[in-house]
Structure 1
């Protein structure tokens, strides 16, 4: 995904699906919103709180919705107000694993919160957080100019479509990471500590991703339900149905990926237990072999006379007992794959 350079304000105006003007001043927004034939888009990136409140009063936006667009940690949701509909969604992307600021156990997931005020003749987007490829949204609108004749619903569809596609891309990258971990599990040369750190990071990223992906279907469902209650531009119904299907697929993929990571985590623990059992089995076998010469030398080291005491035959006998007993145990354990 291409990340744009920072532009704090973007504006556009269409009439009958044709682009008429762009990058006009905020002072002209209210006039364009009052035009029955106009379709307006205003994009604000990290706006100042007081400035946004002032603009909200001019554009007749609900103050509670404005506060939600600026508050930290706001959840993904859709809320219907008397004059507009308010949405909050999160775009996602993964930072490169080679990023020096990202430790091996730290999450690579970055999110951009996008709040949207859907008005009768336009849409106002407020973005906070990491950069987001808003140019891709504009390209989607330019590729389907006929849809823009159907009002702000077309603008909202283009925005949500890019967000869902970005979440798909993130899920795909996490799925690739999970497959790499599966290969590392059965690679005898891989460090167990490294695998544990990477599994922990992947689980952390999935938890963060689920928080923003799972509610998306409810947001899109709310849009479709609202459109059913106020039937306008039925030409957009199939587009929103397809978008809802994509959101469902993203949700199911995220859930299946979580199950896969859980399986990898449990498999890693099982393999560690199996390796530990092998080590303990080998140590036990060698301990049994070493116990034989220890027992024999201990017997012949007593300070009392015994058969062969102070005679060459005693030394030979002791050596034979040690070699034959230890060798017999070694062969027996080797046959049973204990060594």
Structure 2
């Protein structure tokens, strides 16, 4: 009984009086960047949210008992500062390079291993709704989710205004059997949600691509399509491509290569994520190639329109050259010139000019110049 009381004394958080000095207990202020911090045992959440320090002690103490060796802590943070993340990083022994990447963000999607910790970076994508695509429209908005996966902990660091993991945490807490697989189940759930969001954005992008494609090839009034819209959409697709493309190799590694930190049953689920991601990359690459073709088609249309304008200008210049030449000749004011003394010379010259111009006009029309 005394041992049980001592165990409860360690696990139970101590309270301190307001204004008193910190007494070294497990209770400590929770950094403002911490969205949620909870302990899970056998797939079930144990108690309410607690401080990271208290959660670590609970897990490490529980894992010291063989019956509760499957406990782990999940800490979720949103845009932490170096000071806010420093204590958590030291407590879990995170590598300084991974900590620097997690705090400063703007990282390339990747999967790295530091001793007994997996560090994964995911780019989150959100489709930005817009009434009409313009040359300045923002189509996709990106964020980042970093995941530290250890033997008895998962730490997620989110950057950006979207990609919240609250709903995902609730869904996992309802699936006790899956969450009982440990931290690798959380890593899989996050990757699966990120890739599912990619698929949703791809469907929305399909509508925008179809719209600009119709705009490029449906112009019949001689005006070219708004090339700015095509170029802006291509930039957004390239941003999507940079987010999804580099993630394919890490997903393949998680699905193919055995890892100590990944449960064998969870590894099978990563294959499905890798397949979905491959489909996303294929569609995004197809969008990129199609937009390249649309840009070239638009430039070709502009060149054709310019050539048609130049032919029209050349044809009319040739037609007007006839009266200009004849009137120029008769404007030299020489005394001895044909028809200067003739009564019908003036109308005869005008009729001659009109006939030649009409014949030239018909010839240009027949050849498609006018």
Task: State TM-score, norm by structure 1.
Answer: 0.88
What is the Cα deviation at residue 62 of structure 1?
2.1
**What's the secondary structure of 1:114's corresponding residue?**
strand
**What's the secondary structure of 2:226's corresponding residue?**
helix
Closer/same/farther in 2, CA of residues 21 and 335 from structure 1, 3 Å limit: farther
What is the Cα deviation at residue 209 of structure 1?
2.0
Unaligned runs of 5+ in 1: 1-5
Report the counterpart of residue 51 of structure 2 in structure 1.
25
Closer/same/farther in 2, CA of residues 189 and 29 from structure 1, 3 Å limit: farther
- Which range moved further: 103-112 or 312-321? 103-112
Report the counterpart of residue 212 of structure 1 in structure 2.
243
Closer/same/farther in 2, CA of residues 156 and 229 from structure 1, 3 Å limit: closer
What is the Cα deviation at residue 93 of structure 1?
1.4
Report the counterpart of residue 3 of structure 1 in structure 2.
none
**Structure of higher RCO (CA pairs closer than 8 Å, 6+ residues apart):** 1
What is the Cα deviation at residue 325 of structure 1?
0.8
**1:77 and 1:231 mapped to 2: Cα distance?**
17
Which of 87, 99, 109 aligns to 1:66? It is 99
Closer/same/farther in 2, CA of residues 87 and 292 from structure 1, 3 Å limit: same
Closer/same/farther in 2, CA of residues 173 and 322 from structure 1, 3 Å limit: same
Closer/same/farther in 2, CA of residues 190 and 118 from structure 1, 3 Å limit: farther
Task: State TM-score, norm by structure 2.
Answer: 0.81
Structure having the higher Rg: 2
Post-superposition Cα deviations, 1:201-223, rounded to whole Å, max 9, x if no partner, equal 12222222222211111221232
Post-superposition Cα deviations, 1:278-330, rounded to whole Å, max 9, x if no partner, equal 11111111111111211222222231232221433111211111111111111
**1:24 and 1:303 mapped to 2: Cα distance?**
108
**What's the secondary structure of 1:88's corresponding residue?**
strand
Which of 164, 176, 182 aligns to 1:151? It is 182
Alpha carbon RMSD of aligned pairs, Å? 2.5
**1:171 and 1:337 mapped to 2: Cα distance?**
44
What is the Cα deviation at residue 26 of structure 1?
2.5
**1:281 and 1:115 mapped to 2: Cα distance?**
60
Contact 1:297 1:318 in 2 (8 A): no
Post-superposition Cα deviations, 1:240-274, rounded to whole Å, max 9, x if no partner, equal 11111011111222222211111111111111001
Which of 108, 114, 129 aligns to 1:96? It is 129
Closer/same/farther in 2, CA of residues 232 and 119 from structure 1, 3 Å limit: closer
Which of 227, 251, 268 aligns to 2:298? It is 268
Which of 62, 65, 76 aligns to 1:43? It is 76
Closer/same/farther in 2, CA of residues 189 and 288 from structure 1, 3 Å limit: closer
Contact 1:61 1:83 in 2 (8 A): no
Which of 230, 251, 257 aligns to 2:260? It is 230
